[in-house]
């Protein structure tokens, strides 16, 4: 009988969590992580914050020390080029070798959207997805330089905050009508916009690039659709990411905005699971793909349990965060389908409460950790909070959390 071998394609947060959970749950067979970067699994959120500011070293980014994996009995293969999956034959093509597996997990993450063609091949144009990207961008962040950030999402705004604090002149260009339009209400966008304006960042919304000028092979100026022309020294393109599902698609595995999985993490191919940013799973009956540390860890552990025959459904209350200047934005729940927003202010900060059909479904807390933690416990406990209740003078989410259920 062939030795059991669980192969994990990917070496990010989800892959690392899956491998650790398998071992800690008693799996003793062969276990291999295949990562396409030269590093052991590392944290990505600090790339646009602490690491970009040079507050963290590379070693601090690592989820575990490099020698941890061998001690756990995990074979970590870096610089691994996985080119094909054969679900029927249960093999992988890795670095021109055929590797057998008994079970397979795909934790391939995401990739940046393709650069706008105007920027193709130019020096001074950056993305920020991996460690190598962050190290390139570090060299571009120097006082007195002019940085344009394309995209007003979290990564772009976090980078803008780091850059302006480092003495750069920063302009954010967002194609949508407002920054954070896809992920937050207008009130949250307003608060974040005002925060950046107070630090000297120029934000242009509803604008797109129509022309790029180069000098000696490097980006030199950008023209927008309203005729505005700005000289620049560097451009960060942060226009979003796409799930890395190419391997799965080529293998005939069902994909739709990511690798389609059920509530246990199973794909359409027997013996293959997926987890993390690349996986689209049913949440409240709606196909959902989450890009967060919480999802990477929790969904990976659920898939690991299923691989070991411990059946449970993945039904998370998602949470996210973003650090910009001295502002910590903490988000819990999914605001999709909201029809009302309630703003609440305390001596600590403020929060935006999202409601659908009169019931709270999500909260954005800005420098208000107490409200965030209470809202998280309310959602996790399935405690219904009505709009009329939350709008009352003196409403305290912590007290509401502690009240016994009726």
Q: What are 287-326's pLDDT values in tens digits?
A: 999 999 999 999 999 999 999 999 999 999 999 999 999 9
Same domain for 267 and 362, yes or no, is no
Query: Can you tell me the distance from the alpha carbon of 171 to that of 7, in angstroms, rounded to the nearest whole number?
Result: 44
pLDDT score, position 405: 56
> Which residues, at least 6 apart from 129, have a Cβ–Cβ distance to it below 8 Å?
44, 110, 111, 112, 241
Same domain for 106 and 247, yes or no, is yes
Distances (CA, A) of 289 to 269, 281, 341: 19, 6, 24
What predicted TM-score, i.e. pTM, was given to this entire model? 0.95
Query: Can you tell me the distance from the alpha carbon of 313 to that of 74, in angstroms, rounded to the nearest whole number?
Result: 26
Flag whether 335 is in a domain: yes
| pLDDT tens digits, one per residue of 98-138 | 999 999 999 999 999 999 999 999 999 999 999 999 999 99
Q: Nearest to residue 49, comparing CAs of 233, 323, 382, 329? A: 323
Choose the final residue of a domain: 208, 237, 266.
Answer: 237
pLDDT score, position 401: 86
Strand ranges of the sheet holding 286-288, from the earlier edge strand across to the other edge: 259-260, 279-283, 286-288
pLDDT score, position 402: 84
DSSP sequence for 230-291: EE-SEEEE---EEE--HHHHHTT--BSSSEE--TTSB-SSTTEEE-STTEEEEETTEEE---
Task: For residue 25, name the pLDDT band (cuts at 50, 70, 90).
Answer: very high
Flag whether 321 is in a domain: no
Q: Nearest to residue 344, comparing CAs of 364, 320, 358, 318? A: 364
| pLDDT tens digits, one per residue of 159-185 | 999 999 999 999 999 999 999 999 999
pLDDT score, position 104: 98
Same domain for 208 and 231, yes or no, is yes
Same domain for 118 and 177, yes or no, is yes
Q: With 80 as the cut, is the pLDDT of residue 1 above it?
A: no
Flag whether 315 is in a domain: no
**Where do the H-state alpha helices sit in 51-185?**
58-61, 68-71, 131-140, 154-165
3-class SS of residue 130: coil
Flag whether 271 is in a domain: yes
Same domain for 199 and 143, yes or no, is yes
pLDDT score, position 404: 62
Flag whether 370 is in a domain: yes
Same domain for 130 and 209, yes or no, is yes
Same domain for 120 and 232, yes or no, is yes
Same domain for 40 and 181, yes or no, is no
Average pLDDT, rounded, for the chain: 96
pLDDT score, position 336: 96
Mean pLDDT of 3-23: 97
Same domain for 161 and 214, yes or no, is yes
| pLDDT tens digits, one per residue of 353-401 | 999 999 999 999 999 999 999 999 999 999 999 999 999 999 999 999 8
Which CATH number belongs to the domain containing residue 150 in this structure? 3.50.50.60
Same domain for 151 and 183, yes or no, is yes
Mode of pairing for the β-strands spanning 218-224 and 229-231: antiparallel
Q: Residue 172 belongs to what domain range?
A: 114-237
> How many domains, the chain?
3
Same domain for 118 and 200, yes or no, is yes
Flag whether 12 is in a domain: yes
| pLDDT tens digits, one per residue of 191-220 | 999 999 999 999 999 999 999 999 999 999
Task: For residue 247, name the pLDDT band (cuts at 50, 70, 90).
Answer: very high
Same domain for 77 and 126, yes or no, is no
Q: With 90 as the cut, is the pLDDT of residue 327 above it?
A: yes
Flag whether 316 is in a domain: no
Choose the final residue of a domain: 202, 237, 272.
Answer: 237
Which CATH number belongs to the domain containing residue 342 in this structure? 3.30.390.30
Choose the final residue of a domain: 184, 214, 237.
Answer: 237
Flag whether 350 is in a domain: yes
């Amino acid at each position: 009988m062939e030795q059991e071998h669980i192969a994990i394609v990917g070496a990010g947060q989800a892959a690392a969590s899956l491998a650790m959970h398998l071992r800690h749950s008693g799996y003793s067979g062969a276990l291999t992580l295949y990562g396409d970067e030269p590093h052991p699994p590392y944290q990505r959120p600090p790339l646009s914050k602490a690491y970009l500011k040079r507050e963290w070293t590379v070693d601090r980014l690592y989820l575990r020390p490099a020698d941890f994996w061998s001690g756990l009995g995990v074979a970590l293969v870096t610089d691994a080029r996985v080119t094909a999956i054969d679900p029927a034959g249960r093999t992988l093509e890795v670095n021109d070798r055929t590797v057998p597996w008994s079970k397979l997990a795909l934790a391939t993450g995401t990739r940046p959207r393709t650069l706008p063609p105007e920027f193709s091949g130019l020096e001074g144009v950056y993305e920020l997805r991996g460690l190598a990207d962050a190290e390139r961008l570090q060299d571009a962040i120097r006082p007195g330089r002019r940085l344009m950030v394309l995209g007003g999402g979290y990564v772009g705004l976090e980078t803008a905050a780091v850059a302006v604090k480092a003495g750069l002149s920063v302009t954010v260009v967002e194609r949508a009508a407002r920054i954070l339009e896809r992920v937050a209400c207008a009130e949250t966008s307003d608060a974040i916009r005002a925060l950046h304006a107070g630090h000297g960042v120029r934000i242009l919304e509803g604008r797109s690039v129509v022309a790029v000028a180069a000098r000696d092979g490097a980006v030199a100026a950008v023209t927008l659709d309203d005729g505005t022309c700005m000289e620049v020294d560097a451009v960060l393109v942060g226009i979003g990411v796409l799930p890395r599902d190419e391997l799965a698609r080529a293998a005939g595995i069902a994909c739709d905005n990511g690798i389609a999985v059920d509530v246990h993490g199973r794909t359409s191919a027997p013996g293959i699971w997926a987890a993390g940013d690349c996986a689209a799973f049913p949440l409240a009956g709606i196909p959902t793909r989450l890009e967060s540390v919480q999802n990477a860890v929790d969904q990976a552990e659920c898939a690991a349990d299923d691989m070991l025959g411990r059946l449970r459904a993945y039904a998370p209350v998602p949470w996210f965060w973003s650090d910009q200047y001295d502002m910590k934005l903490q988000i819990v729940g999914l605001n999709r389908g909201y029809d009302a927003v309630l703003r609440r202010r305390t001596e600590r900060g403020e929060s935006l409460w999202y409601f659908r059909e009169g019931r709270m479904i999500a909260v954005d807390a800005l420098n208000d950790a107490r409200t965030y933690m209470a809202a998280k416990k309310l959602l996790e406990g399935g405690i219904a909070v009505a709009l009329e209740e939350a709008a009352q003078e003196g409403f305290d989410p912590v007290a509401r959390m502690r009240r016994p259920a009726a």
